[in-house]
Chains A and B, each alone.
Chain A
Amino acid sequence: MDFKFTEEQEAIREMVRDFVDQEMRPRAQAIDEEEKTDFNIINKAAELGLMGVSLPEEYGGIGQGKVGFCIFVEEMSKGCAGTATAIGCHQSIGAMTIVVDGTPEQKQKYLPDMAAGKKIGAFALTEPNAGSDAAAIQTTATKDGDYWILNGRKQWVTNGPFANVVTVFAVTDKGLGAHGGVTAFIVENTFPGYVVGTKDHKMGIRGSESCELIFDNCKVPKENILGQFGAGFLTAMRTLDMGRMTLAAGCLGGAKEALKLSVKHCSERFQFGKPLAEQPVVQQYLAQMAADIYSMESMIYRTAAMADNGQKYSRESAICKLFCSETSGRVIDTAVQLHGGLGYMREHPIERIYRDCRINRIFEGTSEIQKLVIARDVLKKGGY
């Protein structure tokens, strides 16, 4: 067993780190206040090829595979979790549906522009009455000659306000239920009947925008059916396998940033005549944070390597999502504690990081849903 990043992966990490240091971290606090995705950063990322890190080389991407993409998301999430969500969503659940299940024509049509950041991707599954119970979606698609007509509402669609290419899941046969009755469609924001609804106001990751999308007799050409007709749920689940693992990598980045800030603060803050870092209790906290980080890092890259080797990793990515969102939440909470009152002040980045990380236990499947998925697997196999 050889657990070493390749030179290419190290080089990407270093490059993204430079990008984050120069372009992302210095803007993170302001972006949080503005509550808007910073297109200046997105455009710079696009110029540097960073809008297509996960996409295949033949379609203009960097072809970095899952390990490389996790490195990318981890590093970005250290600097600004909101911007990282916008860029990460575009490439993971946004474009990945097409990579996973697109026809060669669909790939050729959409992926090069997405890899170049000219078109932004999004993923629209959740509806007002279908969150954890995604199978309960009510958006419908009915056939009309060479078109499918979509009607319904999707909510909390990350990148929704400006996305150009959205994978939309709709019921094509109510009688067949989730498996057989739901189809994925590639929907462009220019299609007639595509309406961008109100933008959400969020607790954290405010550099990422989400909104409602309304399909009002939205006309989608039949060649935009993604994957097999009726097998939309499979597309969603396969895409979420990757989404959950990369989300875990984002958690890792947030936790590493929190530890770094904590070490700095505890070394510089004097109470009782010495730095906080000299207090045994504080050291215990720091040690636990480091141990947590090491376990997250280990599982994420092991899982990503499995995925790159073509192994199945649904259970593992659910474990990564559950463990890393919960663990990084704890690490970041400890970091706030170590900063004392300062950690509660808007002026300090750890306050934002704390708000930013809370979403990780909710989107792309809540912790409870991950537990459900993992438990089902364990029960089926009679153990791990």
Chain B
Amino acid sequence: MRVIVLLKQVPDPGQIGVSRTKGTLFEKGKRILNPADEHVLELAAELKSKEQADFVALASGPEPVVEVLRRAYAFGADQCYHLVEELDEGDHFAKARALAGAIRLIAKERGEVDLVLAGKGSPAWGAGQTGARIAAELELPQALWVAKLRVHGRELEATQLAGGEEQVRRVPMPALVTVDPSANKPRIPNALLLMKAFKREVKKLGLEELGLTPDAFAAGSTQVRIVRTYAPD
């Protein structure tokens, strides 16, 4: 079984300011791993020990993103990939297209991917779109906001929380799952793994390697346009 975990680096919610004049956010501190993604790493680490899964992590964005991949190594990831890009962060279409391309590339290099795991959403834009859009790009069945995940051979049993009720569904692999934070309590990583993470190699990927035409990401080619941002009263 091969699991790819998608990680996102986000502004630290405790370190954000709002510019009243410009109506934009500014960041005061270092970026952090999206808190919801800690639960994704925990699930992947559990799958690694229970199902002997090959645990691969992928993050995209500018150079500092490497830091969140170190966190994946600290959780026991076998290999991390960094898709280096500077796409507009609010453009979920372009991001999803790029990440889907990277997943295809990794599958070619490492072997077929059985499960793509992503977080429930992030505090950055809070859209919770990326996971679902990647599933669409890759034509994978998806289960969102999953609170419990079991593996039965080539099938997943995913328990989702919906309006206070539990829905259990069976999803054939390969599939994409987004993880609800209630799924688990992320571990404190082992200090030795944490230190070794700094010495592990992160493989770099570029947009040009993905086999997508440059205009797949060009301004206006996607369906998001930011009209105005403003500070809440």
A interface residue numbers (CB < 8 A to B): 7-8, 11-12, 15, 18-19, 22, 47-50, 53, 62-64
Contact = CB atoms under 8 A, between A and B. Distances in A.
A62 B195 contact: yes
Interface stretch (B17-25, B104-112, B185-193): B185-193
B151 interface: no
A15 B198 contact: no
Contacts of A47: 190
A376 B194 CA distance: 43
A48 B190 contact: yes
A47 B191 CA distance: 9
5 contacts: A11-B195, A12-B191, A15-B194, A50-B191, A62-B192
Contacts of B198: 7-8, 11
B188 A8 contact: no
B195 A12 contact: yes
Interface of B: 67, 70, 74, 188-195, 197-198
Contacts of A63: 195
A19 B188 contact: yes
A174 B188 CA distance: 51
B65 to A, nearest CB: 14
Contacts of B74: 11
B70 to A, nearest CB: 8
Q: Is the interface of B mostly helix, strand, loop or mixed?
A: helix
Nearest to B193: A49
A7 B71 CA distance: 12
B25 to A, nearest CB: 24
B33 to A, nearest CB: 11
Given A7-B198, A8-B198, A53 B190 contact: no
Contacts of A49: 190-193
Given A47-B190, A50-B191, 8 more contacts: A7-B67, A11-B74, A11-B194, A12-B191, A12-B194, A18-B188, A48-B188, A49-B193
A12 B188 CA distance: 11
Q: Which 4 A-B pairs have the closest CB atoms?
A: A49-B191, A49-B192, A18-B188, A62-B191
A222 B165 CA distance: 70
Contacts of B194: 11-12, 15
Nearest to B192: A49
A48 B189 CA distance: 7
A7 B195 CA distance: 10
B188 A15 contact: yes
A272 B67 CA distance: 49
A85 B116 CA distance: 44
Contacts of B188: 15, 18-19, 22, 48
Nearest to B186: A18
A12 B198 CA distance: 12
B191, B193, B195 — most chain A CB neighbours (10 Å):
B191
A67 B151 CA distance: 44
Contacts of B70: 11
B219 to A, nearest CB: 35
Contacts of B192: 49, 62
